[in-house]
Amino acid sequence: MNILFASSEVAPFIKTGGLADVAGSLPQALARKGHDVRVILPLYEGIKDEWRSQMTYLQNFNVHLAWRTPYCGLFELQKDGVTYYFVDNEYYFKRGGIYGHYDDGERFAFFSRAVIESPGHLGFWPDVIHCNDWQTALVPIYLLEERQRVPELINAKSVFTIHNIEYQGRYGREVLVDLFGLPDSYFHERMLSYYGDVNLLKGAIYAADYVTTVSPTYASELRYDFYAHGLAGVVSDNAHKIRGILNGIDVERYDPWKDQKLPMSFSAKQMKGKKACKAALQEMSGLEVRPDVPVIGCVSRLVSHKGFDLVVEALPEIMGMDVQMVVLGTGDWAYEEAFRNAAWQYPNRFSAQIMYSDAFSTAIYGGADIFLMPSIAEPCGLSQMIAMRYGTLPVVRETGGLKDSVQPYNQYTGEGTGFTFANADKGDMVWALRQAVDLYHGDQKAWKGLQKTAMTTDFSWDRSAGDYLEIYGWVTGK
Ligand code: GLC
């Protein structure tokens, strides 16, 4: 099957969040199963020379974007069995920061036109165009007409994946014709119109041949307003073609036995190295180097939907236990301040690393004992899976992908891969944390059993890639 995978960020080239990890690993898994997969993304200023030097210039053409015909250059790079196309237009993409510009709607409409028009220039005819999040939401919509215009696309189908429904791409009605180049007839309730505005995510949910989201639980949560951010009705209306598929992670990259960035490697069979990783983490975080105290780690953007109100509120109770804690991340100033304060209040026991650092996150995944992730909403979440790979047991709220990936500890059978709680409530979270801490101090044998199960659970893409292929098969009939 020919698959064109469109994403506004793709690891390792450019990344702000989990979308990039998915776009960087799912296509490879599909390619390993014998499909011709090509990934297309913008050529941002932030893409390093290390990658640029490996690209080949292919060609350029002008895309059709309403009354404009902006330049579109295409560069190509081959990596791990996948072909990557980079869309070049310096006016749109030669800027600092990949999102957050006043004209993001126009920038990603341009990118979406490039996605739709590239097949004709490349002579690569996709059976499926797989798009992700609001930045490529116009692609399934453009495809409706492009199929009429371009005979080779007549059977091409679109699959659209929602990684986070909070970001929808909502603009004033005036952009529809003038900027996006769509006829006014697209402004109706079962397409783009949304309380008088244009809502791109809504349009994609209606226009796509199939819609997926990144965990089965999130797919069912999206029928509720609490999770759907105003699109619960749209999701329900399209429930017949929406399904949740749990993300995988790159299990080669996140392997404590092979990870060169760890001070000492370890595996489910050979856990000695984890002790050295813990000591190294304590050292670099300014925590007292003590092997017998559980270290709670957090790696996250410090924003409210990650559950940091609960964490901040619970700090006195958490630190009242015999634990150490290290928080890594940046975000809302109020949380950053609260954690800086905690570091000052609990010297040698609480460490606030207010920054974004790949090296430090590896140190936490590898060296901590407990990984705290109490998200209010979590479409999938990748860090809890990475933590489990490194034998760091997660404490999570039962929402979205957290619920689907962490099996709660059962004190009677000894089964489980972590600790969970249901309500977004401080007391419940502390209860789950206490359960973890008590087990750590009280029953090391049970603890080691959980670590082993967590580390050997299959989080690879191979499992989920098959589910995507099944959907591609349904929509194309191939
Ligand atoms: C978004 C979601 C996160 C998910 C990721 C990849 O970042 O917030 O939960 O893991 O996309 O799908």
Cα→Cα distances 232→2, 22, 108, 227, 238, Å: 33, 25, 25, 8, 10
**CA 247 to ligand 1 centroid distance, Å:** 9
For residue 219, give the 3-state DSSP assignment.
helix
Whole-Å CA distances, 449 to 114, 439, 472: 51, 11, 39
pLDDT digits (tens, 9 = 90+) for 444-464: 999 999 999 999 999 999 989
Q: pLDDT tens, 124-181?
A: 999 999 999 999 999 999 999 999 999 999 999 999 999 999 999 999 999 999 999 9
Q: How remote is the CA of residue 344 from the centroid of ligand 1, in Å?
A: 32
- Cα 387–Cα 389–Cα 391 angle in degrees, nearest 5: 70
**How far, in Å, are 184, 208, 307, 323, 453 from residue 138 at the CA level?**
15, 10, 32, 49, 42
3-class DSSP state for residue 283?
A: helix
User: Cis omega before residue 12 (within 30°)?
Assistant: yes
Tokens linked to 72: 């579109």
* Per-residue pLDDT at 231: 98
CB atoms within 10 A of CB 148: 9
Q: Are strands 197-199 and 128-132 parallel, antiparallel or unpaired?
A: unpaired
By the 10 Å C-beta count (0-12 exposed, 13-18 middle, 19+ buried), 305 is classed as middle
Pocket test for ligand 1, best of 380, 399, 402, 461 (most atoms within 8 A of CB): 380
Q: State the burial class of residue 76 (Cβ atoms within 10 Å of its Cβ: 0-12, 13-18, 19+).
A: middle
Residues counted in the chain: 478
> What is the residue with the minimal CA distance to atom 5 of ligand 1?
18
Determine the pLDDT at residue 75: 98
Mutate to test the pocket of ligand 1, among 162, 214, 384 (most ligand atoms within 8 A of CB): 214
Range 244-248 average pLDDT:
98
Can you tell me the mean pLDDT for 67-91?
Answer: 98
**Rounded CA gap, 132 and 137, in Å?**
7
Query: What is the dihedral sign for C-alpha 158, 161, 165, 167?
Result: negative
pLDDT above 90 (res 196): yes
Ligand 1 shell residues, CB under 6 Å? 17-19, 22, 163-164, 214, 247, 378-382, 401
CA 269 to chain CA centroid, nearest Å: 30
123 Cα: distance to centroid of ligand 1 (angstroms):
33
Ligand 1 atom with the smallest distance to the CA of 17 is 7
49: its two tokens: 């020379």
pLDDT (average), residues 399-423 = 97
Q: At what angle do helices 272-285 and 358-367 cross, to 10 degrees?
A: 130
Q: Ligand 1 centroid to 70 CA: how many Å?
A: 32
pLDDT at 415 over 90: yes
Half-sphere exposure of 118 (CA within 13 A, CB side): 30
Q: Stretch 217-233: mean pLDDT, rounded? A: 97
Burial track 438-464 (b if 16+ CB lie within 10 A, e otherwise) = ebbeeeeeebeebbebbbeeebebeeb
Index of the ligand 1 atom closest to the CA of residue 161: 12
- Give distance in angstroms: CA of 215 to centre of ligand 1: 10
**Residue 306 DSSP one-character state:** G
Averaged confidence pLDDT in the chain: 97
| Residue nearest atom 7 of ligand 1, based on CA coordinates | 18
What's the rounded mean pLDDT across residues 35-57? 98
- What are the distances in angstroms from CA 80 to CA 66, 74, 107, 127? 37, 20, 29, 21
Q: In whole angstroms, what is the distance from residue 383 CA to residue 401 CA?
A: 11
CA of 114 to the centre of ligand 1 (A): 25
370-373 and 350-353 strand pairing: unpaired
Q: For position 463, what pLDDT does the model report?
A: 85
Distance 21 CA to ligand 1 centre (A): 9
How far apart CA 329 and CA 270 sit, in angstroms, is 30
Q: Which atom of ligand 1 is nearest to the CA of 163?
A: 11
Q: In degrees rounded to 5, what are phi and psi of residue 139?
A: -60, -50
CA dist., res. 8 & res. 370, Å (int): 33
pLDDT beyond 90 at 304: yes
User: Residue 140: exposed, middle, or buried by beta-carbon count in 10 A (0-12, 13-18, 19+)?
Assistant: buried
For residue 164, how far is its CA from the centre of ligand 1 (angstroms)?
6
Residue type, 275: K
Q: What are phi and psi of 456, to 5 degrees?
A: -105, 5
- What local confidence, expressed as pLDDT, does residue 161 receive? 98
Query: CA dist 88 to 91, 94, 107, 316, 408, Å?
Result: 9, 9, 12, 51, 47
Q: Are 81 and 38 in contact (CB under 8 A)?
A: no
Query: CA of 158: how far to CAs of 153, 217, 387, 423, in Å?
Result: 11, 23, 33, 36
Question: What is the C-alpha to C-alpha distance for residues 355 and 297, in angstroms, rounded to an integer?
Answer: 14
- Pocket-testing residue among 8, 16, 19, ligand 1, by greatest number of atoms within 8 A of Cβ: 19
How confident is the model at residue 153, as a pLDDT?
98
CA of residue 12 relative to chain centroid, distance: 13
- Closest C-alpha among 119, 42, 34, 128 to residue 86: 42
Q: Which of 163, 249, 303 to mutate to test the pocket of ligand 1 (most atoms within 8 A of CB)?
A: 163
How far is the centre of ligand 1, averaged over its atoms, from the C-alpha of 144 (Å)? Answer: 27
